Amino acid sequence: MQKLFLTFFYSGSVNKAPGTFGTIAALVPAFFILRYLGIGTLILLAILLFLVSIKIIDQYEKQTGKHDDKHIVIDEVVGVFLALAICGQSVFTFLLSFVLFRFFDITKPSIIGKIDKKTKGGLGVMLDDVLAGIFAGLFSAVIYGILLKFDLLWFDISIMEIF
């Protein structure tokens, strides 16, 4: 059950790019949550997963002796949920938030990298992805705003208009 949770239904069990696969898997429930339950539900779910995951990751690390195993992707799920809650209400911003989240999660610029290196245990595993998600959501909002301001966004559909 622990592995099912930490790998987000085994989406992180692939050998190449497990973080990307875990993030892609998270897009499916995120889309339906945004579409039918709203931003507030996605934020609350991200907070709940964040809090629960810290303890479960701490237990996993104690059992295995591995810190931030690459197959643990629940942190990516929380991060992308936050990015999408901040700025994922259209098809364009949904995809942009995903891309920027992966960028910030992989490159770990600034404080994201410092948190990743200095904070141990479940909190460390989760917190860098939370920050990556927040940065991705904010940057997506800024880019979207600039594109709208200069009338450079030719086509976009609200999540609410799909289905």
pLDDT of residue 154: 86
Give dist(CA 105, CA 160) in Å, integer.
28
Of 136, 111, 115, which Cα lies nearest the Cα of 125? 115
Quickly state the pLDDT bin for 155 (edges 50, 70, 90).
confident
Segments making up each domain of the chain, as ranges: 19-161
Q: Are 80 and 98 in contact (CB under 8 A)?
A: yes
What is the reported pTM? Answer: 0.97
pLDDT of residue 163: 78
Give dist(CA 22, CA 14) in Å, integer.
9
Q: Are 116 and 108 in contact (CB under 8 A)?
A: yes
Over the stretch 98-151, which tens digit does the pLDDT of each residue have? Answer: 999 999 999 999 999 999 999 999 999 999 999 999 999 999 999 999 999 999
pLDDT of residue 86: 98
